[in-house]
Amino acid sequence: MFEESKFTPECEDSLTRMDRISEQAVQHNGDTTLKDRYQTHRDRWLRLKRSLQALHLNLAQLPEKWKQYHTKYVPPSHLSDLSDVVHVSDCLVVHVSFIRTDH
């Protein structure tokens, strides 16, 4: 999502400009205030990117996790499931009944 939008390149461009300006301030008058602020913002950006990458990975793994769940918790193959969906007072209740196919 963020990779496809302008969000990431704009943030990285802003940080690049901030770094360039902070370097000029250090060279011009020895002031490291902007450089310190740049470091803080760069570190925050890197943490945010790592968090977004982890979220992206988790979302990408969801189909596989559902497959594992179904493999582990779906009834054995000798049973077939019949799901009846009943709407009761604004709540959706799913009733699953299992029917043996071997009789």
Handedness of CA 76, 82, 88, 91 (dihedral sign): positive
Handedness of CA 100, 101, 102, 103 (dihedral sign): positive
* 3 state DSSP class of 78: coil
**Model pLDDT, residue 17:** 97
The torsion of the CA quartet 72, 77, 79, 83, rounded to 10 degrees, works out to 60
Token reading at 75: 């009834």
Quick check: pTM over 0.75? no
Taking the C-alpha atoms of residue 42 and residue 62, their distance in angstroms, rounded to an integer, is 30
Residue-wise pLDDT tens digits, 34-93:
999 999 999 999 999 999 889 888 888 888 877 777 777 766 554 444 444 443 333 333
* 3 state DSSP class of 91: strand
